[in-house]
Amino acid sequence: MEPRPFTLMHFWNILKEEPKDSNTVQQDGSADQAGGSMGKRPLGRDAAKKKKKANSSSSGRSVEYANKFHDLSLKKLSYLKDLDDDRRNKMARLVEIEEEKCCTMRLHQEHQLALEERKLRLQEEETEIRRREAEEERERQRRAEEEEMERWRRADEERILGVDLDACPPALRQYYQELQSQILDR
């Protein structure tokens, strides 16, 4: 639809000062059938609301409303106080629970620490036992080696003492005689 120029300007100039409706309602509530009240327009929406509000605020209903509002405010304050007391009680309970939790955690940690200390002591004892066993094993091996060496020495001494000196060459005979005399001196 294309915009067109306003062609009824001559009617507008005549009717712009006239009331919009021929059946306007007067302020007292009676209808005017004769074409309105010469030049006055009816109240607009905002003005009607303002007038209605001014009329209702001066009535006894506003006092009743204020009393109800005051009662509701007191109830709300009482509820908030109860709610505040409940919150305090809940917070106190939460603090107690948290303290119990901390105490339990501390006891648990102390128990864990005691177990760790015991475990460490047992490991130290086990290490000491293993060290002693290793030492004893080394001592047994040393003794076994000494006994083996002693057996070898005795076997060698027996062999040297058992050599027939008459059958040996003279240089070897003198060597074996010295060895036999040393063995017998011990």
Q: State pLDDT tens for residues 141-173.
A: 999 999 999 999 889 888 888 888 888 888 888
- The predicted pLDDT at position 80 comes to 87
**Which helix (H) or strand (E) element contains residue 159?**
helix 61-161
Taking the C-alpha atoms of residue 161 and residue 174, their distance in angstroms, rounded to an integer, is: 13
If pLDDT is split at 50, 70 and 90, which confidence band does 95 have? very high
Closest C-alpha among 142, 154, 149, 140 to residue 186: 154
In a domain, 145, yes or no: yes
Taking the C-alpha atoms of residue 39 and residue 19, their distance in angstroms, rounded to an integer, is: 6
**25 neighbors 36 (Cβ within 8 angstroms):** no
The domain of 130 spans: 65-185
Check residues 82 and 27 and name the one with the higher pLDDT.
Answer: 82
Record the tokens describing residue 179, joined without a space: 């060895």
In a domain, 12, yes or no: no
In a domain, 156, yes or no: yes
Strand 24-25, strand 31-32: pairing: antiparallel
- The predicted pLDDT at position 26 comes to 53
Record the tokens describing residue 12, joined without a space: 């507008």
What is the rounded average pLDDT of the residues 89-110? 93
In a domain, 146, yes or no: yes
Has residue 35 got a pLDDT over 50? no
In a domain, 153, yes or no: yes
- The predicted pLDDT at position 103 comes to 93
Taking the C-alpha atoms of residue 132 and residue 128, their distance in angstroms, rounded to an integer, is: 6
Check residues 96 and 22 and name the one with the higher pLDDT.
Answer: 96
- pTM of this prediction? 0.37
- The predicted pLDDT at position 173 comes to 84
In a domain, 2, yes or no: no
Taking the C-alpha atoms of residue 176 and residue 182, their distance in angstroms, rounded to an integer, is: 10
Please state the domain count of the chain.
Answer: 1
Using CA atoms in the order 19, 24, 27, 33, what is the torsion angle rounded to 10 degrees?
110
What is the rounded average pLDDT of the residues 65-73? 84
> CA of 171: how far to CAs of 27, 35, 161, 164, 175, in Å?
167, 174, 17, 14, 7
In a domain, 84, yes or no: yes
Look at residue 158 and give its three-state secondary structure.
helix
Taking the C-alpha atoms of residue 27 and residue 25, their distance in angstroms, rounded to an integer, is: 7
In a domain, 23, yes or no: no
Q: Please report the beta strands in the chain, taking only residues with DSSP state E, as ranges in sequence order.
A: 24-25, 31-32
